[in-house]
A and B are shown apart, each in its own frame.
Chain A
Amino acid sequence: MSRETGVDRYTLNYSNIDVDLVRTMQPAGKLYYTVLVILAAIAGWGGYAWSVQLRLGLGVAGITWPVGWGFYITTFVFWVGIAHSGTLISAVLFLFRVRWRSPIYRSAEAVTVFAVMTAGLFPLIHMGRPWVAYWLMPYPQMGGLFPNFRSPLVWDVFAISTYLTVSVLFFVTGMAPDLAIVRDRTVGWRNKVYGLLAQGWQGTDRQWKHYTAAYVFLAALATPLVISVHSIVSWDFAMSIIPGWHTAIFPPYFVAGAIHSGLAMVLLIVIPMRRIFNLQPYITGEHLANMSKMLIFTGLILGYAYGIEFFIAWYSNNVYERSLFFYRAFGDYAWALWLLVACNVLGPSLFVFRRVRHSIPAIVAISVFVNVGMFFERFVIIVTSLGHSFDPFTWKVYVPRWPEVSILAGSFAWFFLLFLIFAKLFPVVSMWEVKEQLPLPRKEDTHA
């Protein structure tokens, strides 16, 4: 294998790839189930908090006028952002023929799918009456009234549901050859289930021909989604006239932030996974270092965006904009602003040092910081603008209440729970693509 991927230090071949990666799906031990139960308990607690809100109404949450969007919308934007790195790694890096993506893209895609599934819950939770969620969808009904397609909120419904659909298609399609490998190496009910999921994949030239063509086109379709989905999410804010929201910088700023947080989350998933499953020959230090380098890049974009936001507020000479940004920097939530700057810009910039990007504890710590920082970035954008808009008599400090915090914690547990289940049921590393990165077996190799 080429040096670029770093896997060349290990003697990977077609046989041990199958053995190593099918082994990750063997029945789990006590630790796995202990973690599973803990996560299920936290997710269950979040579910209970939601049930309390459903019974008693949205009043149990801290969101109230003028801060109508609080933790729920913050968390929604956060999870949509987390989803982005998966598509970046699986689709964008695929189109650019970046070879080191092969061992990590399956996990990154799983992060995308589960993060969008988690994000999709939050508009429902925020609605207060999730049983009428179908009102958001365009369907012919007696009154003849369709959703308002001029609203960015309706664009968002379309964008997120399309993103989920395309991500799932890409994820499931990419897995077909691997599911066939698993089918061929299992017996009993597993053989039947994976046989069904593999859809009869055999690896014929006909199948490969159309499969690889479809894969390229799916990647090409998913790539603009990386840009457009979070641009549309940013328009939920930027299309309004609220100070701090009505700015043209939001789409690229949100997209960079999304990829930033997503990369950090993929690192947080991949690092324990490679250790637990002994996947160091597949996901090497070079892979982690490459992702760390991408975090430097996205962190710098964010640093620029943070700075330019303040510059625009000052340069506009608009009293409301200036007041809001002064409030962000020195007001009630100033701690959150400076925390996010430290976490999102200063933290990842440490990756310029080779020693830092090759240190697992440092990568984990900085990735945690980035995720904390990105959550607070969305919190600061949403809450300060609503709580400190035009009229000083309407200014208010928003404090989340226990159901909101519980549902936030539950969403993290739900996300990790889904990934944990996935990791035991499906190959976490793409077997056929890792094989494809190896040199093809040649006559001189087999006769040596």
Chain B
Amino acid sequence: MPEAPRHSVIGFYADVDSLIHALELAKREGLGEVRTISPVPLAEAQRILGGKPSPVRYFTLGGGFFGFLVGWALTIGSVEHYPLIVGAKPIVSLTPFGVVAYICTILFGALFTVLGMLINARLPDVKVGRGYDPRLTGNRFGLQVICGREQVEAIQDKLMDAGAEEVKYVVV
């Protein structure tokens, strides 16, 4: 069943101060679900929006740990499967196998990090066309407030009062 369309208002700001002012206002007055859209990461906006730190770090840790196990399992498993003494070394040679385990730690840590980023950032995002404005990767900062249809006009006014250059009604 298709998702019901949601209504939103995007305010466009030429400077960060106005955006932050509008964001604080939106949070303070509980205008609705808010998100910022910007050409660069904005630490100040992240602070106001709050929320927990990115869970990507758990993916990195988990991936690294998984890779570490894979490295040992691959090396020890393979020599146990076909025990052949080479170069007078023990069948399970911990030092050289540790090199492979280290490399696998890095490899899977990196793969899981990217996976964690994609999952948490909800990428790839096929719905980019809905409500998206190309100015927001360029030189403008956006504040999007998702709200009920009846609130749209009031929120448009509030965002304009907060210094928006332009406001846009978007169905997402």
Measuring CB to CB, which residues of chain B are less than 8 angstroms from any residue of chain A?
14-18, 35-42, 45-46, 49, 51, 53-54, 56-57, 60, 64, 74-75, 78-79, 81-82, 84, 86-87, 89, 93, 96-97, 99-100, 102-104, 106-107, 109-111, 113-114, 116-118, 120-128, 132, 134, 136-139, 141, 163
Instruction: Report whether A138 and B117 are in contact in the complex, using a CB–CB cutoff of 8 Å.
Output: no
Instruction: Report whether A15 and B36 are in contact in the complex, using a CB–CB cutoff of 8 Å.
Output: no
Instruction: Report whether B107 and A213 are in contact in the complex, using a CB–CB cutoff of 8 Å.
Output: no
Identify the closest chain B residue to A229 (Cβ). B103
Instruction: Report whether A205 and B36 are in contact in the complex, using a CB–CB cutoff of 8 Å.
Output: yes
Q: Complex Cα distance A199/B136, Å?
A: 16
Instruction: Report whether B121 and A211 are in contact in the complex, using a CB–CB cutoff of 8 Å.
Output: yes
A interface size (C-beta, 8 A)? 66
Instruction: Report whether B81 and A217 are in contact in the complex, using a CB–CB cutoff of 8 Å.
Output: no
The prevalent SS among residues of A at the interface is helix
Q: Complex Cα distance A280/B18, Å?
A: 33
Q: Complex Cα distance A377/B87, Å?
A: 29
Identify the closest chain B residue to A146 (Cβ). B78
Instruction: Report whether B38 and A208 are in contact in the complex, using a CB–CB cutoff of 8 Å.
Output: yes
**Stretch binding the partner chain, chosen from A28-36, A73-81, A220-228, A418-426:** A220-228
Measuring CB to CB, which residues of chain A are less than 8 angstroms from any residue of chain B?
13-15, 18, 138, 143-152, 154-155, 158-159, 162, 165-166, 169-170, 173, 176-177, 180-181, 183-185, 195, 199-214, 217-218, 221-222, 224-225, 228, 232, 432, 435-436, 440-443, 445-446
Instruction: Report whether B107 and A185 are in contact in the complex, using a CB–CB cutoff of 8 Å.
Output: no
Query: Cβ of A159: which chain B residues have Cβ within 8 Å of it?
Result: 103
Query: Cβ of B107: which chain A residues have Cβ within 8 Å of it?
Result: 162, 165-166
Q: Complex Cα distance A173/B112, Å?
A: 13
**Least Cβ distance of B60 to chain A in Å?**
4
Show 23 A/B contacts (Cβ-Cβ < 8 Å), sorted by A. A15-B139, A146-B81, A149-B79, A152-B96, A154-B100, A158-B104, A165-B111, A166-B110, A173-B114, A202-B137, A204-B37, A205-B38, A206-B35, A208-B38, A209-B51, A209-B121, A213-B56, A213-B117, A217-B113, A224-B106, A432-B40, A441-B16, A441-B141
Q: Complex Cα distance A443/B136, Å?
A: 17
Instruction: Report whether A200 and B54 are in contact in the complex, using a CB–CB cutoff of 8 Å.
Output: no
Q: Complex Cα distance A15/B84, Å?
A: 64
Query: Cβ of A183: which chain B residues have Cβ within 8 Å of it?
Result: 134
Q: Complex Cα distance A203/B141, Å?
A: 10
Q: Given A199-B123, A217-B57, A181 and B40 touching (CB < 8 A)?
A: no
Q: Given A158-B103, A184-B138, A205 and B15 touching (CB < 8 A)?
A: no
**Least Cβ distance of A149 to chain B in Å?**
4
Instruction: Report whether B100 and A149 are in contact in the complex, using a CB–CB cutoff of 8 Å.
Output: yes
Instruction: Report whether B60 and A232 are in contact in the complex, using a CB–CB cutoff of 8 Å.
Output: no
Instruction: Report whether B86 and A435 are in contact in the complex, using a CB–CB cutoff of 8 Å.
Output: no
Q: Given A165-B111, A202-B37, A210-B56, A195 and B134 touching (CB < 8 A)?
A: no
**Least Cβ distance of A240 to chain B in Å?**
11
Identify the closest chain B residue to A197 (Cβ). B124
Query: Cβ of B82: which chain A residues have Cβ within 8 Å of it?
Result: 143-146
Query: Cβ of A442: which chain B residues have Cβ within 8 Å of it?
Result: 15-17
